[in-house]
C-alpha cells in the first residue's frame, strides 16, 4: 500500500502549509516550511520503492538474481533517490537562511510576530 | 511612521487571533491543496510499476560508460552532473546569504563623506583616540565581557568536577554527554571519510559532507563553541569551500575541453570497485564533499554565532517590557545596528 505513503506525504505537506498560513510566529513558519520540505522527501523515497526490489548497486546481486536482473530494473528507482539526497543537503542550507532572517528580523523589530512586521504596509 | 510607532499602531488594531479569518482561510486553502494532492498521488507509479526510462538508462550506462557500481552516484556526478553543479552553487548561494545576514555591522566607508564626519565627531567625543570616551567604552567593555563570559566561567568544561552544585557553569554539557560525544564522533568521522573516499566507488561526497559536518555539530553540542572554534573559523573554512567550488568548475570545464561536454569523463576508467573507479566522478565526489562539508559548517556556525545586534531603543523607556536579557543585549549594542534597516 505505497499509496498510503503518498497520502501521508500529502497530509504532511498540508500540515506544513497550514502552519505557514495560520501561525504568525516566524520560527513556527520556518518549522512549517521544513515540514513541507520533509514531506517531499517521503514522497520521493516512496515513489522510488519497487516491490521485491533491491538497492540500485551493481554488486553482489541477491540469491536468485543476476546482474541482468539488476540492470533491467529489478531495483529501487535511483533517480528519485538522487533527488532526495541532494534535496536534503540543500534543505539544511535553505533552513539556515530562513532562521538567519528570522533572527535578524527579531533583533530589528524585537518581535517574532509576523503581524509586527509593518515596514512595507502602505 | 517609524518602525516602533508602526508596531504600536499595529498592536492597537484588531488582531487576527481575535477573529477566525486566518484559521478559516488557512484550513480552506490547505484542504484544497490536500484534495489536489490526493487526486494527483493516486495516479503516481505504484510499487509494481516499471522503472522510468531515465532510471533504466542510468542502470545500463553505469558500468560500461562510467565504470562504477553505484548507480545513484553515477546519476549524481554523471548523468545529472550539470544539475548537481547547479545545486552545488545553490548551496553556495544559501551559504553566502547566511553569511551576509549574520555578519556584524561594518563601519561605513568614505562614500559620501560620512567617515570624515564621523572622525570629527569621534575626535570631539574621544580626543585621545584610545576609546576612553564614556558610553562607547562601556559598550565595548560590555561586549568583550559577553564574549569572554564562557571562558571566565569554565575555561574547560572537563575541569568542572563531578557533583558540582548548580547552576551549571560549564560551557559544555555533562560528563555523560561529553564522553558519549567523544565516542560517537570517531566512528561518524571514519564512516564519513570512508563514504567520501570509497563508498561503493566512487564515494558519495554529498552525504559524506553532511556526515562530517555532523561531527562538528556533535562536538559543539557537547563541549560548547570554544571547543570547535579553531576548526570552524571562517578564515579557514571559507577558503576551503571556495577551493572546492573552483575544483568542481575545473572538473566540468576540463570535460568541455577534452570531451566537448561539461563533466564528461576524460580519465581512464579503473576496475569497478576500486578507489579510482568512476573516472572524474571520484574527483567530482571529493570536491562535492569539501563543498558540502564546509558550506553547511559555515551556514550553521554563522547562525549559531550571531551577535546580539539588537535595534536600539527609540524612546528608551520600555526596559520593563523586555526583561533583564534584553537590557543586557542593549548594553552591548552601543553603536546601534543599522544593518537590519
**How many CB atoms within 10 Å of residue A56?**
31
The angle at the Cα of A54, spanning A51 to A59, to the nearest 5 degrees, equals 160
B94 touches chain A (CB under 8 A): yes
| Residue B294 three-state SS | helix
Q: What is the pLDDT of residues A32-86, one digit of tens each?
A: 999 999 999 999 999 999 888 888 888 776 777 777 777 776 789 999 999 998 8
Q: B191 or B142: which carries more pLDDT confidence? A: B191
Q: Smallest Cβ distance to B75: which of A13, A79, A97?
A: A79
**pLDDT at residue B113, as a whole number:** 62
CB of A108 closer than 8 Å to CB of B311? yes
Residue B27, C-alpha cell as written in the block: 484550513
For residues B191-206, give the mean pLDDT: 84
Q: B311 or B13: which carries more pLDDT confidence? A: B311
Residue A65 lies in a domain: no
> In 3D, which of B92, B63, B62, B99 has the Cα closest to residue B79?
B62
> Does the distance separating the beta carbons of B33 and A14 come in below 8 Å?
yes
> Does the distance separating the beta carbons of B97 and A97 come in below 8 Å?
yes
A113 forms beta bridges with A25
Count the alpha carbons within 13 Å of B105 in the hemisphere toward its beta carbon: 18
**Cβ contacts of A111 on chain B, cutoff 8 Å:** 7
Residue A111 lies in a domain: yes
**pLDDT at residue A48, as a whole number:** 92
For B81, the domain range is 53-103+133-331
| Residue B272 three-state SS | coil
Residue B117 lies in a domain: no
B248 touches chain A (CB under 8 A): no
Residue B121, C-alpha cell as written in the block: 565627531
pLDDT band at residue B169 under the 50/70/90 scheme:
low
Nearest chain A alpha carbon to B340: A108
How far away is chain B from the Cα of A34, in angstroms, using its nearest Cα? 15
Per-range mean pLDDT, top range of B131-145, B162-176, B201-215: B201-215
**Burial environment of residue B339 by CB neighbours within 10 A (0 to 12, 13 to 18, 19 or more):** middle
CB of B173 closer than 8 Å to CB of B221? yes
For residues B154-159, give the mean pLDDT: 57
B5 touches chain A (CB under 8 A): no
> Does the distance separating the beta carbons of B55 and A78 come in below 8 Å?
yes
Phi, then psi, of B112 in degrees rounded to 5: -125, 35
**pLDDT at residue A120, as a whole number:** 76
Name the one residue in this structure whose C-alpha cell is 557553569: B169
Q: What is the pLDDT of residues B223-245, one digit of tens each?
A: 888 888 888 888 899 999 999 99
Poorest-pLDDT segment among B15-24, B61-70, B154-163, B252-261: B154-163
CB burial readout B233-242, b (16+ within 10 A) else e: eeeebbebbe
**pLDDT at residue B341, as a whole number:** 31
**Helices B234-259 and B81-102: angle between axes, nearest 10 degrees:** 160
For residues A5-13, give the mean pLDDT: 94
Phi, then psi, of B201 in degrees rounded to 5: 55, 110
Q: Smallest Cβ distance to B310: which of A101, A110, A116?
A: A110
Residue B118 lies in a domain: no
Radius of gyration of chain A (CA): 20
pLDDT band at residue A107 under the 50/70/90 scheme:
confident
**pLDDT at residue B49, as a whole number:** 86
For residues B73-84, give the mean pLDDT: 91
Residue B152, C-alpha cell as written in the block: 571566565
Residue B295 lies in a domain: yes
> In 3D, which of B264, B287, B257 has the Cα closest to residue B89?
B287
**pLDDT at residue A63, as a whole number:** 76
CB burial readout B320-336, b (16+ within 10 A) else e: eeeeeebebbbbbbbbe
C-alpha B122 chain-centroid distance:
37
**How many CB atoms within 10 Å of residue B35?**
12
Residue B3 lies in a domain: no
Q: A32 or B133: which carries more pLDDT confidence? A: A32
CB of B264 closer than 8 Å to CB of B85? no
Nearest chain A alpha carbon to B62: A58
Q: What residues of chain B, 193 to 222, have a C-beta less than 8 Å from chain A?
A: 200, 204, 206-207, 209-210
Work out how many domains chain B is built from and give that number.
Answer: 1
CB burial readout B178-211, b (16+ within 10 A) else e: beebeeebeebbebbeebbbbbbbbbbbbbbbbb
Say if residue B320's pLDDT is above 60. Answer: no
B34 touches chain A (CB under 8 A): yes
A75 forms beta bridges with A54
Q: CA dist B256 to B235, B249, B251, B265, Å?
A: 32, 11, 9, 10
**pLDDT at residue B124, as a whole number:** 75
> Rounded to an integer, what distance in angstroms lies between the CA atom of residue B97 and that of residue B299?
9
**pLDDT at residue A56, as a whole number:** 87
Cis upstream peptide for B106 (omega within 30°) = no
Say if residue B336's pLDDT is above 70. Answer: no
How far away is chain B from the Cα of A32, in angstroms, using its nearest Cα? 12
Residue A61 lies in a domain: no
A63 touches chain B (CB under 8 A): no
Per-residue H/E/C for B127-176: CCCCCCCCHHHHHHHHHHHHHCHHHHHCCCHHHCCCCCCCCCCCCCCCHH
pLDDT band at residue B334 under the 50/70/90 scheme:
very low
- State percent of chain A over pLDDT 70: 97
* CA-based end-to-end distance of chain A: 51
For residues B302-325, give the mean pLDDT: 62
A100 touches chain B (CB under 8 A): yes
**pLDDT at residue B325, as a whole number:** 39
Q: Give the CATH number for residue A47.
A: 1.10.287.3510
Residue A66 lies in a domain: no
pLDDT band at residue B92 under the 50/70/90 scheme:
very high
Q: A11 or B146: which carries more pLDDT confidence? A: A11
**Burial environment of residue B53 by CB neighbours within 10 A (0 to 12, 13 to 18, 19 or more):** exposed
Residue B327 lies in a domain: yes
Q: What single DSSP character describes residue B279?
A: T
Nearest chain B alpha carbon to A75: B51
For residues A7-22, give the mean pLDDT: 95
Length of chain B: 341
A32 touches chain B (CB under 8 A): no
Poorest-pLDDT segment among B7-21, B94-108, B263-277: B7-21
Poorest-pLDDT segment among A82-96, B101-115, B153-167, B168-182: B153-167
Poorest-pLDDT segment among A85-89, B146-150, B248-252: B146-150
State chain A's mean pLDDT as an integer: 88
Say if residue B304's pLDDT is above 90. Answer: no
Work out how many domains chain A is built from and give that number.
Answer: 1
Residue A28, C-alpha cell as written in the block: 513556527
Residue A122 lies in a domain: no
Q: Is the ipTM of this complex over 0.90?
A: no
For A22, the domain range is 3-51+71-116
Q: What is the pLDDT of residues B18-67, one digit of tens each?
A: 578 888 999 999 999 999 998 988 888 888 888 889 998 898 888 888 88
CB of B275 closer than 8 Å to CB of B198? yes
Residue A58 lies in a domain: no
Amino acid at each position: 500500500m505505497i499509496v498510503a505513503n503518498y497520502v501521508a506525504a500529502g497530509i504532511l505537506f498540508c500540515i506544513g502549509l497550514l502552519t505557514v498560513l495560520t501561525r504568525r510566529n516566524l520560527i513556527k513558519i520556518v518549522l512549517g516550511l521544513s515540514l513541507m520540505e520533509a514531506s517531499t522527501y517521503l514522497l520521493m523515497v516512496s515513489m522510488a520503492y519497487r516491490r521485491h526490489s533491491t538497492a540500485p548497486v551493481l554488486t553482489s546481486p541477491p540469491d536468485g538474481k543476476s546482474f541482468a536482473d539488476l540492470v533491467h530494473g529489478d531495483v529501487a528507482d535511483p533517480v528519485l533517490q538522487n533527488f532526495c539526497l541532494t534535496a536534503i543537503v540543500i534543505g539544511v542550507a535553505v533552513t539556515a537562511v530562513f532562521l538567519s532572517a528570522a533572527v535578524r528580523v527579531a533583533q530589528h523589530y524585537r518581535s517574532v510576530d509576523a503581524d509586527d512586521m509593518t515596514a512595507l504596509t502602505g | 511612521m517609524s518602525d516602533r510607532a508602526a508596531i504600536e499602531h499595529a498592536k492597537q488594531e484588531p488582531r487576527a487571533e481575535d477573529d477566525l479569518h486566518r484559521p478559516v482561510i488557512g484550513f480552506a486553502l490547505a484542504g484544497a491543496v490536500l484534495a489536489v494532492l490526493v487526486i494527483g498521488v493516486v495516479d503516481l507509479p505504484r510499487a509494481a510499476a516499471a522503472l522510468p526510462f531515465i532510471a533504466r538508462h542510468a542502470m545500463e550506462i553505469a558500468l560500461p560508460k562510467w565504470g562504477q557500481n553505484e548507480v545513484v552516484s553515477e546519476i549524481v556526478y554523471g548523468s545529472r552532473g550539470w544539475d548537481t553543479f547547479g545545486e552545488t552553487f545553490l548551496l553556495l548561494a544559501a551559504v553566502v546569504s547566511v553569511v551576509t545576514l549574520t555578519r556584524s555591522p561594518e563601519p561605513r566607508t568614505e562614500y559620501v563623506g560620512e567617515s570624515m564626519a564621523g572622525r570629527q565627531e569621534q575626535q570631539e567625543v574621544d580626543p585621545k583616540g584610545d576609546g576612553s570616551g564614556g558610553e562607547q567604552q562601556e559598550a565595548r567593555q560590555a561586549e568583550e565581557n559577553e564574549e569572554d563570559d564562557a571562558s571566565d566561567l569554565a575555561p574547560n568544561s572537563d575541569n568542572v568536577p563531578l557533583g558540582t552544585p548548580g547552576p551549571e557553569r560549564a560551557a559544555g554539557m555533562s560528563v555523560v554527554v561529553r564522553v558519549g560525544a567523544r565516542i560517537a564522533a570517531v566512528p561518524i568521522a571514519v564512516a564519513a571519510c570512508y563514504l567520501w573516499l570509497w563508498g561503493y566507488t566512487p564515494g558519495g561526497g554529498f552525504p559524506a559532507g553532511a556526515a562530517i559536518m555532523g561531527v562538528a555539530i556533535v562536538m559543539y553540542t557537547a563541549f560548547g563553541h570554544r571547543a570547535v572554534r579553531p576548526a570552524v573559523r571562517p578564515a579557514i573554512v571559507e577558503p576551503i569551500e571556495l577551493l572546492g567550488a573552483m575544483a568542481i568548475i575545473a572538473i566540468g570545464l576540463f570535460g568541455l575541453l577534452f570531451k566537448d561536454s561539461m563533466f564528461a569523463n576524460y580519465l581512464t576508467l579503473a576496475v569497478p570497485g576500486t578507489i579510482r573507479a568512476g573516472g572524474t566522478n571520484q574527483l567530482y565526489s571529493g570536491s562535492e564533499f569539501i563543498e558540502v562539508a564546509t558550506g553547511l559548517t559555515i551556514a550553521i556556525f554563522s547562525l549559531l554565532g550571531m551577535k546580539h545586534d539588537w535595534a536600539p531603543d527609540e524612546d528608551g523607556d520600555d526596559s520593563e517590557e523586555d526583561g533583564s536579557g534584553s537590557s543586557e543585549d542593549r548594553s552591548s549594542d552601543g553603536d546601534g545596528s543599522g544593518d537590519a534597516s
